[in-house]
Structure 1
Amino acid sequence: MLFEDFGLDKRLMSTVEHLGFAEPTEIQQQAIPVAMTGQDLIASSKTGSGKTLAFILPAMQRLIKNRALSKRDPRVLILTPTRELAKQVFGQLRLFTGGTQFKSVLILGGENFNDQVKVLEKDPHFIVATPGRLADHLTKGHFYLNGLELLILDEADRMLDLGFAKELSLINNKADHRKRQTLMFSATLDHAQVNEFAMQLLNKPKRIAIGAAHSEHKDINKRFYLADDLAHKQALLTHFLENENYQQLIIFTATRADTQRLATELAEKQLSTAALSGDLTQGQRNQIMDSFAKGQQKILITTDLASRGLDLVNVSHVINFDLPKHSEEFVHRIGRTGRAGNKGDAISLVGPKDWLSFKNIELFLQQHFSFSQVDGLVAKFNGLKAKKVKTANKQPQQKTANAKASTKATKAKVKKQTLFTQDAGDMPVLRRKKALPTSEIDKQETPEID
């Protein structure tokens, strides 16, 4: 199948050919025809599969071919969970809107509120935004969604996990009319809250699932190494940086403190390094990512802030200095390499504090991983044994009724231990924060990324 088989406007086809897109990916082949019919859609596919183009092309085709429902209201709204992903989507959208009459704006938390009011007053056709800040503008009446034609939710599961259910409901209600089309993309369709929201937002949607969330990425070579402690991890990291043949490399850590510490140490070794964490301002983050994307640094050290959405084709290696708390984040982390048909390497260091995360990743991916070794850096640590479930000793049949009651009470107090009820990773699990009321969003930094 070719892009020309979709029946796209010749101006769109010219841009597709100019950008060098040859054959559509599987998600594009299945999602684009459905979206172009005007039907609601809920779709899942693995990271790096090309889903951004799967909704940008139908959106552009709609605006080119159809008359606007309103002269002032935005026609297309694209919501993403993080500022970095919003910037990525906006950049790809601009490749198609450039040289056309269609205006697009980017609305993010952490950036100047009044400047955003001014660009919204110019009646843009496209808005790419994070939910918190957009809901704030909508509540204050800085724009309206009465004429919205297409609502697109990119990585809906992540938006719900970050606590934006209230904002998404507000946005949906403000644009609730029968002519609106909704496209929802999620890493998985097994997310209970995603399915619940799909029933609220979508009208008889077509469901598309390209692979499972745990399906293997064939372009990524996964390697795991045991480590005794932090110093051992440090020695292994030094070995890989000195011996791996990499173009660009991303190192994922568990904490902001480790991110800055490693960045300082690598910089002292004259390695070209940048550090990205949530305590930076949005302007600083933008500058760091733009610089890394242009190849001005070879190494990026970050928390899960950069695990989703960023399309960095020169990243040949990913190193998990610490394993992530949630298994699905492992998939997104390693998905920063092996993109656009390129091969990638994902190296993960597994210490005692990472062991339960490692076992959960095996369960999530439905795979068993063996450990590689580095000569001279072989770990003494060889894994942790699963805790056995405590059981009460059986009493003889002759025991009294009171003894039986006592035994039952003892059994009731025993707590069952499993991998998923124990703590995993280097940091304690944080309880999901409730979404801030929209009236409070402009009073503090919006929580799009942390």
Structure 2
Amino acid sequence: MKFTELDLPKEVLQGIEKAGFKELTPVQEESIPLALQGKDVAAQAQTGTGKTAAFLISLFTRLLRNRRPASPDPRALIMAPTRELVVQICADAEVLGSGCDLRVQPIFGGVDYEKQRSALRSGVDIIVATPGRLIDYYKQRVFSLKKIEAVVIDEADRMFDMGFIRDLRYLLRKLPPFDKRQTMLFSATLNQRVMELAYEFMDIAEKVRIAPEQVTAERVEQVLYHVSRREKFPLLMGLLRKDPGMERVLVFVNTKKEAEHLVERLKANEFKAAVISGDIPQRKRMRILDEFKAGRLNFLVATDVASRGIHIEGVTHVINYDLPQDPEDYVHRIGRTARAGAVGKAISLADEDLVFHLEDIESYLGQKIPSCFPLDDDFVWDYRRPASRKRTPKPATGGGEKKRRPRRRRRGGARERKSDA
């Protein structure tokens, strides 16, 4: 189906044309017509399937058709689990909403506290936010939720995984009743806990399910290497040497410590790499992502939590340096490549500790991942090691002598003489 076949306002069609969209993706074809009818929608779809455009197009259409007198109170709310996802949704909204006279405001922690506060006070139409800071402003009565007409919950499953579900429920309870607003929920899986959220806060939601294998199998070339843990980095060096087409690579690991260690080794071998993790200041995180998008960084090493919401065109390869423990994370990871109809390659390294998760991953995919054992010439052993960090000696006290303990007094009040030995 083409977008021109839908009954959309000309302002929305203008933004769709600017974005270069012509035909609907499966999740768009299933969810947009339902949303245009005013129905609540609970959709299962992976990242990279066009779900952001699906709810933005539906949201813009609703707000344009139900115009109301100018008011500082927001009319719609989009909630997402990460700052990066909020930024990406706003970037997509800027393009798709270029023909709409609607004010979109991102709200997230880490930057511009007073600037965001001022923007809310001056009035916005759509808030795109992570739950934490939004609740902060709400409790200060910076804005009101009484006039919300539509709400979107993006990546609902991650709201649970990242511990935001309590904040999410708090905000949903402050909205108008579910029969007085439209709600759209998007999640990688419509499991029991996600559907309980839908039953509690949605008005008989229409379910849309897009199977994971439709997302991953067709456009992503997958390969898995069985390798020992000590051989993973030599094999990675061999793969990089053999494939000069690795221009923009996302490397996934399971821990922040492993991410930092891997980046040090890549840098030691003259690869431009950086870590993205949850504790990096927001401005630095955005700068790293911008450098990766611009090609000034070739490798971005991330954990699953930190990488949520990353939307970067032209990622040539995804490398699962550590095989994920959650099957859904595998689908999410390799969905970072082959976006918007492009092709990509996903390489996984299964070591002796993490290979036990392979069966669950393949069961979730509904297919076997092509696998092999690397040959001797696939490894590079003469790579450079990072310079060892020198320990900074502790500053000496008392002219190099050990710190003296307090002298004890003898009975009768006389001090004990300290030996020079």
- Output the TM-score relative to the length of structure 1: 0.79
CA contact 1:317–1:345 (8 Å) conserved in 2: yes
Deviates more, 1:147-156 or 1:291-300: 291-300
Deviates more, 1:253-262 or 1:66-75: 66-75
Residue 181 of structure 2 is matched in structure 1 by 180
**Post-superposition offset of 1:6:** 1.1
Query: What is the root-mean-square deviation of aligned Cα atoms in Å?
Result: 2.0
- The code of the aligned residue for 1:333 comes to R
Residue 247 of structure 1 is matched in structure 2 by 247
Alignment of 1:127-146 (within 5 A): 127-146=127-146
Q: 1:315 to 1:216 in 2, by over 3 A?
A: closer
**Post-superposition offset of 1:363:** 2.8
**Post-superposition offset of 1:369:** 3.7
Residue 334 of structure 2 is matched in structure 1 by 334
Deviates more, 1:325-334 or 1:106-115: 106-115
Distance in 2, matches of 1:369 and 1:78, equals 36
Distance in 1, matches of 2:319 and 2:115, equals 39
Distance in 1, matches of 2:372 and 2:75, equals 52
What CA deviation, in whole Å up to 9, does each residue of 1:132-181 have, x standing for no partner?
A: 22122222222111000110001111112222222122111111234211
CA contact 1:97–1:104 (8 Å) conserved in 2: no
Q: 1:342 to 1:213 in 2, by over 3 A?
A: closer
**Post-superposition offset of 1:212:** 4.5
What CA deviation, in whole Å up to 9, does each residue of 1:218-270 have, x standing for no partner?
A: 1111111112223x101011011111222311111122222222222222322
Alignment of 1:51-450 (within 5 A): 51-68=51-68, 71-98=71-98, 100-177=100-177, 178-189=179-190, 191-212=191-212, 216-230=216-230, 232-244=231-243, 245-376=245-376
Distance in 1, matches of 2:5 and 2:14, equals 14
CA contact 2:75–2:126 (8 Å) conserved in 1: yes
CA contact 2:249–2:317 (8 Å) conserved in 1: yes
Q: 1:99 to 1:16 in 2, by over 3 A?
A: closer
CA contact 1:214–1:365 (8 Å) conserved in 2: no
Q: 1:9 to 1:369 in 2, by over 3 A?
A: closer
Distance in 1, matches of 2:182 and 2:58, equals 11
Give the match's secondary structure for 1:283: helix
What residue ranges of structure 1 are gaps of 5+ in the alignment?
A: 380-450
- The code of the aligned residue for 2:351 comes to G
Distance in 2, matches of 1:113 and 1:141, equals 15
**Post-superposition offset of 1:325:** 2.3
CA radius of gyration, larger in: 2
Give the match's secondary structure for 2:180: coil
Distance in 2, matches of 1:215 and 1:343, equals 12
**Post-superposition offset of 1:306:** 5.0
- The code of the aligned residue for 1:225 comes to Y
- The code of the aligned residue for 1:114 comes to E
Distance in 2, matches of 1:378 and 1:99, equals 53
Distance in 1, matches of 2:163 and 2:268, equals 39
**Post-superposition offset of 1:378:** 7.8
Residue 3 of structure 1 is matched in structure 2 by 3
What CA deviation, in whole Å up to 9, does each residue of 1:31-87 have, x standing for no partner?
A: 111111111111112321100010101111122221238722111111111111111
CA contact 2:227–2:349 (8 Å) conserved in 1: yes
**Post-superposition offset of 1:13:** 1.2
Identity of aligned residues (%): 36
**Post-superposition offset of 1:201:** 0.9
**Post-superposition offset of 1:343:** 1.3
Deviates more, 1:252-261 or 1:74-83: 252-261
CA contact 1:293–1:312 (8 Å) conserved in 2: yes
- The code of the aligned residue for 1:105 comes to Q
- Output the TM-score relative to the length of structure 2: 0.85
Q: 1:364 to 1:275 in 2, by over 3 A?
A: same
**Post-superposition offset of 1:213:** 7.2
**Post-superposition offset of 1:184:** 0.6
CA contact 2:254–2:322 (8 Å) conserved in 1: yes
Residue 399 of structure 1 is matched in structure 2 by none
Residue 47 of structure 1 is matched in structure 2 by 47
Give the match's secondary structure for 1:352: coil
CA contact 2:102–2:126 (8 Å) conserved in 1: yes
Distance in 1, matches of 2:277 and 2:168, equals 26
- The code of the aligned residue for 1:240 comes to L
What residue ranges of structure 2 are gaps of 5+ in the alignment?
A: 380-421
CA contact 2:227–2:373 (8 Å) conserved in 1: no
Q: 1:80 to 1:150 in 2, by over 3 A?
A: same
Residue 405 of structure 2 is matched in structure 1 by none
